[in-house]
Structure 1
Amino acid sequence: MPLWFVPVRVALGALALASCAALDSDLHLAPLYTRVATADGGTLLEIAGGLYRQHRRDEGDFLEWRTLAPLYGIERQRDGSFEAEHPFPLGRTRVQVDGTGFSYLVPLYASWFRPEPDGTSRRLLLTLPGFLLQKTGDGTHGGWFPFYGRLVDLLTFDDLRFALWPFYVRADRAGRVSHHFLWPFFGWTSGGGESSWHLFPLFGRARWEGRYDRTYVLWPFFHWQRNNLGGGGEEPEKAWMLFPFFGKKERGTYAAWTGLWPFFGFARDPRSGFWALDFPFFLVRIQRGPEATTARTRFWPFYSHLRTEQLETHSYLWPLLHLRHEDDALIERDSATLVPFWQSSDARSKASGETSSWRKLWPLLRSERQDDWRAGALLELDPFWRNDLVPRHATGFFRIWEWEQEPAFRRERAFLGLYRRERGRGEDRRSLSGLWGRRSYADGGKSVRETSLLFGLVRWRVTAEHGFDMLRPAFPGPGWPRPAQAASAAASRTYF
């Protein structure tokens, strides 16, 4: 190698290094790679047109959210709580600030956990092929379904055991112990005021002192029940049925009749003015009563109307058109749905007076507003009601245009991230991947405009005071430094 070539190589290397953008400056090479300082004070990294995205705050120290669609996603809060998908939609984990949460991955496992007042934690794990593991402050329990298992304080059970399920099951609830052999065919319960047994489906009787006395013969054909037997101001209830021909229920002045179930039903209470008519059940129902009770008219699927003290709904040609009005102590809200094309919601908080609205014209566009904050998207393929998960993992990559605006900032993004805009923190930054970039800001009250072309190889600045000035290259461009002005308290609520 000629001696003269060595210093030439060194000079060319130094020139190339000097032409590269700084490590923390904006790089916009969408759809391959993008790293930009966001207008709300964070740093966004986007790869492969948005398949991988992450957003950090506090100069990169705090990871706010990350998505590798659809394999993994996480959204974290500063209090330590978070939600994650792994992968979407089969797996999900949610942990609240106190440590309570759940995790599942269909069909492999499901887990629930929560802290206890004594400082210990309670965990339950169900996993293939039927393994159960439970950890509490009192010890570890579990089993292998259907061979053997024991769990404590689960749902309504104080102690639940099984062996060769369904051959044997033992359940303890508040002192009432039940034994089942070949569940559900034979079993009995005793203790805690209850005395019950059954030989399903031939005969069964369940008696709980002060609560009920229920009997069936040749289930489901013959039933007799007496409920609410504890007094204390409750009126006892009597019910019987010869299924499916006729049945009757009585409680005080209330009486209900069923004939040829589920085709005909009628109920009335002269004391309250309530009455209801079914013909047949679910498809047609008319219910009326005093103003404080529910009024319902349903001719499914053609029309239905429901009115309560806090809710009124209308449905036409279910499931196509739904109208809903809510009015409670906290919020007043109106919503409408025309499946699958239109969804809307307008709400007002009665405590703060804050208003919000949300619109989706599927699959063309979406817009939403909450006081001064606004956002929208063009080509919104997600057909479901308002959510973030489906766009983050499946449909958001196809948006032609999306934007977000607060009084303190505005953000814009075009298809695959080819165009971006970040206006805030005293600057307005716009760029077209690799080809063009523009940065506008004020310096000492004087306007400054910087331009980047051809992957940051050609850059210049124009100021009101000094005019035109060339800038050093910053490959691959546009190479803008992080804004000097601190971010406002407003944070982005979107995922682009």
Structure 2
Amino acid sequence: MQWCNLKHILLWSFVCVLTGCTTVDELDIWPVVYYDKDPERQTTQLDILTSVYSQTDTLEKTTYAFRPFFVGEFAKSGKNSEILALWPFVRYRQKPDDTLIAILPFYYSREITKQHTRERDYDWFFLPFASFGGADTKEGSYLYMGFWGNIKGLLGYDEITGKPFPFYVTARDGEYFSRGYMWPFFRFGDGGGKTFRFYAFLYSYYKNKDKYERRSFLWPFVHYNKEDLNTKDPRTDVLVFPIYGQSTSKKSLAWMFMWPFFSYSGHENGYREYNLPWPFFKYRTGKGIHEFRLWPFYWENNQEDGTQRHRDVIAMWPFYWSLHSEYPTHTKDSVYIIPFYSQHWSKGKDPKAKEEMRLKVWPLFDYKVNEDGSFRSRILSPLLFEDYIPYGFEKAWVPLFTLFDYNCKSTDEKTVTFLGPLFTMKKSKDLSYERFLFFSYKNEKKTKGEQGRFSILGGLFEYNWLPQQRGLRFFYLPTWPTWSK
């Protein structure tokens, strides 16, 4: 809080010196400082050294950015805030029932309060030393130094204990309970219709009621399994890894030789798959499935079921990708020419739906059109990948590398910037603002009428007008002389 107060004191002192301590709603001395306060819209914008430091204040939230080190967003109503520091290494996010802190790669904590039960669920990691997690009404998980602890709900088990790991390990999944000594060499499990024995990779046996029975010798080299014993089509698998394997049933046959290079599988329902040899040649066909691969030159994969349809084409892997998907609610298409070009289209099935589109020519250019008609175009486009929530790279890094930015909102508000301080334009139904180097022009419609100004270096010389008054300003002093319209 003290730092924020000092910052505001210094800012206003600087503004008052330049303006003769008059009431200030705007200061435009680019690239040093740009300040604009709109009492009618209750918005404030401050930029120092183009976008190195920015502060935006609206009815909904206040945003601070000291790029690329810090970005903070604080909502006016409710307990909502987010801080990104040295992104992607530090993140803090607070919501009414959800608090997250992450300091990569060592620290992570998240605490969630469930809305209906008001039960607190939490996770806490300080790697590699300790981690905790759980809920208020249940015994939590804990792990110290990676070898002593009790972990719940991971790796398909209700709980796993190590006291200490790997000398003695236990695991529970419902009624099934297993023990391990000098894990993974000796492991034994019983319960819930399951039986498991593992002796130092020499021999293992695993049975689950009438579903399957599996044996291995010199694991992972020799396996003999009986699968799907509870169905009308049980299967027998034999594997001598990696030389030969075979899987047979009344309805299917599969074999492999010198895994993973040569394999075949077929089923009486018409499904066939050939890899001769993998990954260079693959052919797969069946109901709703057709795939052909002659790698790396050409690869086509078609899949269809009752609700979805996909068609992917890859040429000269990994350079060219064409992906098409149809869902019950929308269709989506993507084209990649790696690493320089990518384009995406998406459109809803509603006849009134409009198409969304994203285009990137890395690292030169990106362009995006949203369903509501808004669009944005930028040069440069340094991110090789798509940025996702919390959009840390977009907020902290991209503005520093943007040479040209054209942003048009669905309300027909337009903003254009070119080379930061060189040229800026803002257009809306109530505002017209243009700045080129040291010259700026602004005209806006207020409730009291039209007002604006033409300025050189933000007040070195300025001609301004109000609904019933005109005036001149020199050397950043208050406006004088003034005269009536």
* Per-residue Cα deviation, 1:348-391 (whole angstroms, up to 9, x for no partner): 11246131111122222211112420111122222223654434
Deviation, 1:142, is 1.8
SS in structure 2 of the partner of residue 411 of structure 1: strand
Assess if the C-alpha contact under 8 Å between 2:67 and 2:400 holds in 1.
no
Alignment of 1:42-61 (within 5 A): 42-58=43-59
SS in structure 1 of the partner of residue 105 of structure 2: coil
- The reply to whether residue 178 of structure 1 matches residue 178 of structure 2 is yes
Assess if the C-alpha contact under 8 Å between 1:22 and 1:474 holds in 2.
no
**Which is worse superposed, 417-426 or 208-217?**
417-426
Counterpart residue number, 1:306: 301
Return closer, same or farther for 1:256/1:21 CA change in 2, 3 Å cut-off. farther
Assess if the C-alpha contact under 8 Å between 1:397 and 1:416 holds in 2.
no
Assess if the C-alpha contact under 8 Å between 1:429 and 1:438 holds in 2.
yes
Return closer, same or farther for 1:243/1:126 CA change in 2, 3 Å cut-off. same
How far apart are the structure 1 equivalents of 2:302 and 2:57?
Answer: 47
Return closer, same or farther for 1:297/1:191 CA change in 2, 3 Å cut-off. same
Deviation, 1:74, is 4.6
- The reply to whether residue 274 of structure 1 matches residue 274 of structure 2 is no
Alignment of 1:183-332 (within 5 A): 183-231=183-231, 235-270=233-268, 272-290=269-287, 292=288, 294-309=289-304, 310-332=309-331
How far apart are the structure 1 equivalents of 2:140 and 2:203?
Answer: 38
Counterpart residue number, 1:438: 441
Alignment of 1:446-461 (within 5 A): 449-461=452-464
Amino acid at match of 2:406: W
**Which is worse superposed, 160-169 or 113-122?**
113-122
Counterpart residue number, 1:377: 378
Return closer, same or farther for 1:315/1:80 CA change in 2, 3 Å cut-off. farther
How far apart are the structure 1 equivalents of 2:91 and 2:204?
Answer: 42
Amino acid at match of 2:454: T
CA RMSD of aligned residues (A): 3.3
* Per-residue Cα deviation, 1:430-483 (whole angstroms, up to 9, x for no partner): 2346x22211234789865521223313222368x97x82145694999xxxxx
Return closer, same or farther for 1:236/1:350 CA change in 2, 3 Å cut-off. same
Deviation, 1:297, is 1.6
How far apart are the structure 2 equivalents of 1:16 and 1:45?
Answer: 17
How far apart are the structure 2 equivalents of 1:36 and 1:243?
Answer: 71
How far apart are the structure 2 equivalents of 1:364 and 1:318?
Answer: 23
Return closer, same or farther for 1:444/1:82 CA change in 2, 3 Å cut-off. closer
Counterpart residue number, 2:5: none
How far apart are the structure 2 equivalents of 1:398 and 1:339?
Answer: 22
Deviation, 1:222, is 0.8
Return closer, same or farther for 1:119/1:228 CA change in 2, 3 Å cut-off. farther
SS in structure 2 of the partner of residue 308 of structure 1: strand
Assess if the C-alpha contact under 8 Å between 2:461 and 2:476 holds in 1.
no
Q: Which has the higher contact order (CA 8 A, sep 6+)?
A: 1
SS in structure 1 of the partner of residue 224 of structure 2: strand
Percent of aligned positions with the same letter in both sequences? 20
SS in structure 2 of the partner of residue 397 of structure 1: helix
* Per-residue Cα deviation, 1:42-67 (whole angstroms, up to 9, x for no partner): 43333343233343311xx622x444
Return closer, same or farther for 1:338/1:18 CA change in 2, 3 Å cut-off. closer
Counterpart residue number, 2:113: 115
Assess if the C-alpha contact under 8 Å between 1:187 and 1:199 holds in 2.
yes
Alignment of 1:102-181 (within 5 A): 103-116=101-114, 118-137=117-136, 138-154=138-154, 156-181=156-181
Return closer, same or farther for 1:143/1:273 CA change in 2, 3 Å cut-off. closer
How far apart are the structure 1 equivalents of 2:445 and 2:103?
Answer: 52
How far apart are the structure 2 equivalents of 1:444 and 1:164?
Answer: 74
Assess if the C-alpha contact under 8 Å between 1:21 and 1:475 holds in 2.
no
Return closer, same or farther for 1:55/1:304 CA change in 2, 3 Å cut-off. farther
- Structure 1 unmatched runs, 5+: 1-14, 479-496
Assess if the C-alpha contact under 8 Å between 1:166 and 1:181 holds in 2.
yes
Counterpart residue number, 2:20: 19
Assess if the C-alpha contact under 8 Å between 1:455 and 1:477 holds in 2.
no
SS in structure 1 of the partner of residue 158 of structure 2: strand
Return closer, same or farther for 1:102/1:444 CA change in 2, 3 Å cut-off. closer
Return closer, same or farther for 1:443/1:222 CA change in 2, 3 Å cut-off. closer
Amino acid at match of 2:34: T
Amino acid at match of 2:89: L
Return closer, same or farther for 1:473/1:149 CA change in 2, 3 Å cut-off. farther
Paired residue total: 451
Amino acid at match of 2:425: R
- The reply to whether residue 399 of structure 1 matches residue 402 of structure 2 is yes
How far apart are the structure 2 equivalents of 1:459 and 1:365?
Answer: 37
How far apart are the structure 1 equivalents of 2:225 and 2:43?
Answer: 64
* Per-residue Cα deviation, 1:104-163 (whole angstroms, up to 9, x for no partner): 322212334433453221212121332122242224542312342123344533222112
Aligned equivalent of 2:423, options 402, 419, 422: 419
How far apart are the structure 1 equivalents of 2:475 and 2:426?
Answer: 19
How far apart are the structure 2 equivalents of 1:477 and 1:305?
Answer: 71
How far apart are the structure 1 equivalents of 2:477 and 2:204?
Answer: 79
How far apart are the structure 2 equivalents of 1:156 and 1:257?
Answer: 29
Amino acid at match of 1:392: K
Counterpart residue number, 1:7: none
Amino acid at match of 1:149: G
Deviation, 1:72, is 3.3
Return closer, same or farther for 1:72/1:202 CA change in 2, 3 Å cut-off. farther
How far apart are the structure 1 equivalents of 2:207 and 2:80?
Answer: 46
